[in-house]
A and B are shown apart, each in its own frame.
Chain A
Amino acid sequence: MKVTRQTTVPAIATGAPTIRKRATSSAQRRAVLLFVAPFGVLFLAFYAVPIIFAVVQSLLTVERKGTFGPPQQVFGGFIQYQQVFQNTEFWESVGRVLLFGVVQVPIMLGLALLFALLLDSPLLKGKKFFRLAFFAPYAVPGVIAAIMWGFLYSPSLSPFGAVTSQVNFLSADLVLWAIANIVTWVYVGYNMLIIYSSLLAIPTEIYEAARLDGASNLQIAWRIKIPLVVPAIILTGVFSIIGTLQLLAEPQTLRSFSSAISSTFTPNLAVYTTASVPNYSLAAAFSVVLALATFVLSFVFLKATQRKVSQ
């Protein structure tokens, strides 16, 4: 957006420079407070305080005076964390989502990148249609997507009976990948659009210059487009990692279709199950460990990819 510079600006400003400056800056200070305060208060109340609360809760433990005494919360130090580390079911669930992420995230982002490049290429007709068709599943909430695919996977209801009567997607061996398919189905289009819109931001002069140098479409995609959309891919990568570690709605919903999903199938399911026992201190410790793991993984991913980019 262009703004025409007004020559009157300095002339007016020089009239009473110090007073005007002080007046505006105090008005601006008040404005900053007004603009930042609502978000700040809510962020404190619903982000900062719960995190602190979870950490405190995870350091407490329940004790009873004698066998029949009333339960009492006392400071227990790192007892809960010891239990977290000894809890094999929890670590199995962590291993499961890590395996899930290592396979599903690259497939999903690879497809998203491929579709974005095709949408951006001169090869396709009907781009608008494909863009909307691929994005449509994003409007389907995880629970609903899991219900739909739950029916589609079931041998008796599935339109693909020929396949589902041979291969049981809801068996213990395959159910993790059945969930991976649901997550991919929902999010590929979303990631595609993020990458595609950053492709659209690349100035076309670059391509013209490359074409003059004799570059093919494939070379342009590989040498110019992909390197330039790496920031978008990193962004989608970080969100995908967070999403993977948070898996809950899909496996929890599919439990009514498959007995192969245990109550501790993913870390979040383990938190939910532990909280409904109820053992809030242990559940809080799980949450803290999980939040830290998410943080560390996202951070490592950011650093690793940034180093690669700058090389």
Chain B
Amino acid sequence: MSRGAAMLIMGVFTLYFLTPIWWLLVSSSKTGGDITGTAPLWFTADSFPTFFANLGNLFTYSDGVFGRWLANSALYAGLGALVGTVIAAMCGYALAKYEFRGREAIFNVVLSGVLVPATALALPLFLIFSQVKLTNTLWAVFLPSLVSPFGVYLARIYAAASVPTELLEAARLDGSSEARTFFTVSTRLMAPALVTIFLFQFVAIWNNFFLPLIMLRDQALFPVTLGLYAWNSQISQIPELRVLVIVGALVSILPLIATFLGLQRFWSSGLGAGSVK
């Protein structure tokens, strides 16, 4: 293949991947009428003030519920992924670096957990949570999000490859406790895997739809995706919501894109770990 052909393929697909996001950005800077009336992929003369007016409306509409949704998503995904990563890393590390009875059995059970679709768990979780009166609470979405079998799998593979057993033995001889060795020495060596686990769990929780959809009734508890979904399904009755949905969609994807760009250096080296034998 020639250089020209390669660049052409990549160029065409760059348009495919970026045009929808570009359209979202441009549309966010238009009034409801201008979205249909003006050139869809270019700004209008008033784009700048209109964008900020839209943004203002987004955060004040319905007593500022959108800000609440963003905060909820940040809590569910941010804190959930953080705690979940630590828990998964400890388990994967133990499976990689210690010999104990039942080790392979535990690993196999966790591995089969990777294959269980999250949506198949959502309904039984709803039934269980409704018996202990936990549906329609923060906990109903937060607690199940902490479990990441794929995180354990990644952590095990990465720990096995990057934490030398000799180093652990040396730490033991120096009198360091197992937990201290893990948190001060091993986690540093596992950093790329930890960032990767965190990011992918963050995205999985941020994107999770079924669990909040069936668990939550109270709008104040919605994550941003469920909130925008709810607004989007009311557009036919309340047309002014269309602009808010578009601006809201833009605002809701920016934190994720920023997180990925900011942490790129770390996760791109950890990403390959899951696929290397």
The chain A residues found within 8 Å of chain B, CB to CB, are: 1, 3, 5-6, 9, 12-13, 24, 27-32, 34-36, 38-40, 42-43, 45-47, 49-51, 53-54, 57, 111, 114-115, 118, 121, 123-125, 130, 132-145, 147-152, 156-159, 161, 185, 188-189, 193-195, 197-198, 200-201, 217-218, 229, 231-232, 235-236, 238, 242, 245-246, 248-249, 252-253, 255-256, 268, 271-272, 275, 280, 283-284, 287-288, 290-291, 294-295, 298-299
Indicate if the CB atoms of B123 and A141 lie closer than 8 Å: no
Assembly CA distance A225 to B169 (angstroms) = 38
Assembly CA distance A232 to B274 (angstroms) = 8
In the complex, chain B residues whose CB is within 8 Å of the CB of A51: 116, 121, 124
B126: nearest chain-A partner, CB-CB: A275
In the complex, chain B residues whose CB is within 8 Å of the CB of A27: 177-178
In the complex, chain B residues whose CB is within 8 Å of the CB of A232: 272, 275
Taking the nearest CB of chain A, how far is it from the CB of B74, in angstroms? 14
B271: nearest chain-A partner, CB-CB: A197
Indicate if the CB atoms of A290 and B41 lie closer than 8 Å: no
Indicate if the CB atoms of B257 and A139 lie closer than 8 Å: yes
In the complex, chain A residues whose CB is within 8 Å of the CB of B164: 1, 3
In the complex, chain B residues whose CB is within 8 Å of the CB of A299: 115
If A193-B268, A291-B117 touch, whether A133 touches B225 (CB-CB below 8 Å) is: no
Indicate if the CB atoms of B10 and A118 lie closer than 8 Å: yes
Assembly CA distance A71 to B210 (angstroms) = 28
In the complex, chain B residues whose CB is within 8 Å of the CB of A149: 20
In the complex, chain B residues whose CB is within 8 Å of the CB of A298: 115
A122: nearest chain-B partner, CB-CB: B3
Centre residue among B36, B87, B115, B121 by max chain A CB count within 10 A:
B115
Taking the nearest CB of chain A, how far is it from the CB of B166, in angstroms? 5
Assembly CA distance A36 to B95 (angstroms) = 8
Assembly CA distance A123 to B10 (angstroms) = 11
Indicate if the CB atoms of A46 and B228 lie closer than 8 Å: no
What is the size category of the interface that chain B forms with chain A? 35 or more
In the complex, chain A residues whose CB is within 8 Å of the CB of B236: 256
Centre residue among A47, A232, A242 by max chain B CB count within 10 A:
A47
Indicate if the CB atoms of B209 and A197 lie closer than 8 Å: no
The interface stretch among B47-55, B57-65, B246-254 is B246-254
Indicate if the CB atoms of A189 and B91 lie closer than 8 Å: no
Interface SS of chain A: helix, strand, loop or mixed?
helix
Tell me which residues from 2 to 19 in chain B have a Cβ below 8 Å from any Cβ of chain A.
2-3, 6-7, 9-10, 13-14, 16-19
The chain B residues found within 8 Å of chain A, CB to CB, are: 1-3, 6-7, 9-10, 13-14, 16-21, 23-24, 27, 35-36, 40-41, 87-88, 90-91, 93-95, 98, 100, 106, 109-110, 112-113, 115-121, 123-128, 143-144, 146-147, 149, 152, 162, 164, 166-167, 169-170, 172-173, 177-179, 182, 189, 203, 206-207, 209-210, 213-214, 225-226, 228-229, 232-233, 235-236, 245-246, 249, 252-253, 256-257, 260-261, 264, 268-269, 271-272, 274-277
In the complex, chain B residues whose CB is within 8 Å of the CB of A47: 113, 116, 121, 147, 149
Extra contacts, 20 of them, besides A47-B116, A50-B128, A197-B272 (Cβ < 8 A), are A1-B189, A32-B94, A35-B94, A36-B106, A42-B146, A42-B147, A46-B125, A49-B128, A54-B123, A133-B17, A148-B249, A150-B232, A231-B275, A246-B119, A246-B120, A252-B213, A268-B210, A275-B123, A284-B123, A294-B117
